[in-house]
Amino acid sequence: MLSAFVNAFRTPDLRRKLLFVLGIIVIFRAGSQIPAPGVHVYNVQECINIAQEGESAGIYNLINLFSGGALLQLTIFALGIMPYITASIILQLLVVVIPRLEALKKEGQAGQTKITQYTRYLTLGLAVLQATGIVALARSGNLLQGCDPTQYPLLHSDDTKTFLILVVTMTAGTAVIMWLGELITERGIGNGMSILIFCQVVATFPAALWQVGKSQGWWTFGVVIAIGMVIVAGVIFIEQSQRRIPVQYARRMVGRKMFGGSSTYIPLKVNQAGIIPVIFASSLLYLPAMAVQFNATSDAAWVKWVSDYFVTGDHPLYMATYFLLIIFFTYFYVSITFNPVEVADNMKKYGGFIPGIRAGKPTQDYLSYVLSRITLPGALYLGLISLIPLIAIVLIDANQSFPFGGTSILIMVGVALDTVKQIESQLQQRNYEGFLR
């Protein structure tokens, strides 16, 4: 393993790419620590401490996770990568719904470039909306629960000029993050956006682990680390698991040449949907909590009911709803990203068939059958992993930034495996052994 790292830095081209990625990460993390203009830094830190002591960090835990803690500190990169993730998911869904976007996707590289451009525009639009909402909550003092806005105002001034400057700054920060991610993709190694997400998630780990040790004792800290290693090993096992459906291509004569006759397979991953269902479910469950946040002074019965069951996240009704939503969105997302009809038609067009299965409709039915069967364990796996932080809140009285479980582990393991595979492929091209044995 260590020799593989040494070989990676011995190769000039690979070393240059790795150092470039590390440089971008340094710039990215520096921007996540620079406060936006008009923010009262001391009061923000005091309110964060109060929120942590009260085990409540507000309703933006998911966005704060993807910003590496920059959101609640109101920095220039406060929005992090979340607007881009949301825009990408929306475009993926619209490609299935809108025929024009579906036609663009089939045009190859030119169509994909156009869809990427639409994603950028939508990202900026979502960034403006999110920045406006966050700054409005900061100005009213409702961004961090348990903090008195009259004693600790988060902004130096609540006038319109400061409001607009903050919105423009955070939106521009999102645009810079997009640019940095594309630079990594073009000149570095791995997917730029994924690596930036990975860095932001990892950035919250030391503080979260320290909080567990400080509040629960170091014996509990050691148990959490041991359980975390088991969870990571399990996530790696599931993420690498796949069902390989064999495909045989018949020989055919084209002119004077013989084509086909080869064997391959269709890899169907157990976790075909990735982390998208967790993001969908989390975002949907944040809507009632957000409504309560904007109606904090109301005495309505629905406000009290939502506050009791859907804000803290430690109620069994919240956990059950979260789990069921993840299962639903897993099946939904897999159904729109893997089309058995299209796969079966392409196989038939090029003379491919699954041994023992007739081409056409029987192949389509077989693929649908296998996909529905392997999606169930994948959905249950995503649901159980996502419930780990919520269960930890109940068992060891942890806060909602509990490190092992949920989106954080899924992101870290997935991005790390993908990046290591890309480095390994480049090492093998230069006759070096890779990281994975």
Task: For the chain, give the percent of residues with pLDDT over 70.
Answer: 82
**C-alpha to C-alpha distance for 17 and 8, rounded to whole angstroms:** 10
Q: Which of 123-127, 194-198, 426-430 has the lowest mean pLDDT?
A: 426-430
Q: How confident is the model at residue 254 (pLDDT cuts 50, 70, 90)?
A: low
- Of 202 and 27, the one with more pLDDT: 27
What would the two tokens of residue 329 be? 């969105």
Q: Please state whether beta strands 252-254 and 257-259 pair in parallel, antiparallel, or not at all (unpaired).
A: antiparallel
Tokens 């989390």 belong to: 282
pLDDT value of residue 4: 63
Cα–Cα distances in angstroms (integers) from residue 336 to residues 93, 195, 342, 414, in the given order: 8, 26, 12, 21
Containing 300, the helix (H) or strand (E) segment is none
pLDDT value of residue 179: 92
pLDDT of residue 46 exceeding 60: yes
Cα–Cα distances in angstroms (integers) from residue 5 to residues 8, 11, 15, 55, 182, in the given order: 5, 10, 10, 40, 25
Residue 114, Ramachandran bin (φ over 0: left; ψ between -120 and 50: alpha; else beta): alpha
pLDDT of residue 125 exceeding 90: yes
The full set of domain ranges for the chain reads: 1-203+405-437, 206-401
Q: How confident is the model at residue 59 (pLDDT cuts 50, 70, 90)?
A: very low
Mean pLDDT across the chain? 80
pLDDT value of residue 58: 42
**C-alpha to C-alpha distance for 201 and 204, rounded to whole angstroms:** 6
pLDDT value of residue 56: 45
- The whole-angstrom distance between residue 293's C-alpha and the CA centroid of its chain comes to 24
Q: DSSP assignment, residue 261? A: -
Cβ-based neighbours of 291, under 8 Å, separated by 6 or more: 306
Q: DSSP assignment, residue 243? A: E
- Of 119 and 393, the one with more pLDDT: 119
Mean per-residue pLDDT, 7-18 = 82
- Of 169 and 253, the one with more pLDDT: 169
C-alpha closest to that of 67 among 131, 160, 9: 131
Half-sphere exposure of residue 18, counting CA atoms within 13 Å on the CB side?
18
The answer to whether 237 touches 270, Cβ cutoff 8 Å, is: no
pLDDT of residue 126 exceeding 70: yes
**C-alpha to C-alpha distance for 142 and 296, rounded to whole angstroms:** 8
Return the CATH number of 1-203+405-437, one of 1.20.1080.10, 3.20.20.70, 1.10.3370.10, 3.30.1490.100: 1.10.3370.10
pLDDT of residue 232 exceeding 60: yes
For domain 206-401, which architecture applies? Answer: Orthogonal Bundle (1.10)
pLDDT of residue 424 exceeding 70: yes
Q: Which of 20-24, 59-63, 360-364, 404-408 has the lowest mean pLDDT?
A: 59-63
pLDDT value of residue 319: 84
C-alpha closest to that of 143 among 47, 207, 217: 47
Q: How confident is the model at residue 169 (pLDDT cuts 50, 70, 90)?
A: very high
pLDDT of residue 432 exceeding 80: no
Question: How many CB atoms are closer than 10 A to CB 171?
Answer: 22
- Of 149 and 93, the one with more pLDDT: 93
pLDDT of residue 101 exceeding 60: yes
SS (H, E, C) 89-111: HHHHHHHHHCHHHHHHHHCCHHH
Question: How many CB atoms are closer than 10 A to CB 38?
Answer: 22
pLDDT value of residue 23: 93
Q: How confident is the model at residue 75 (pLDDT cuts 50, 70, 90)?
A: confident
SS (H, E, C) 21-74: HHHHHHHHHHHCCCECCCECHHHHHHHHHHHHHCCCCCCCHHHHHHCCCCCCCC
Residue 98 identity (one-letter amino acid):
I
The answer to whether 71 touches 80, Cβ cutoff 8 Å, is: yes
pLDDT value of residue 260: 58
Mean per-residue pLDDT, 135-142 = 80
Half-sphere exposure of residue 392, counting CA atoms within 13 Å on the CB side?
27
Mean per-residue pLDDT, 151-163 = 83
Highest averaged pLDDT of the listed ranges 27-31, 145-149, 254-258, 426-430: 27-31
What would the two tokens of residue 138 be? 């900061």
Residue 237 identity (one-letter amino acid):
F
- Of 416 and 58, the one with more pLDDT: 416
Residue pLDDT, tens place only, 274-293? 888 887 887 777 777 777 76
Examine domains 1-203+405-437 and 206-401 and report if their fold is the same: yes
- Of 348 and 7, the one with more pLDDT: 348
The answer to whether 42 touches 74, Cβ cutoff 8 Å, is: no
pLDDT of residue 302 exceeding 60: yes
- For 140-163, the DSSP string reads HT-SSTT--TTTS-SBS--SHHHH
Mean per-residue pLDDT, 25-51 = 83
Q: Name beta bridge partners: 39.
A: 155
C-alpha closest to that of 172 among 54, 34, 282: 34
The answer to whether 360 touches 348, Cβ cutoff 8 Å, is: yes
pLDDT value of residue 170: 92
The answer to whether 409 touches 234, Cβ cutoff 8 Å, is: no
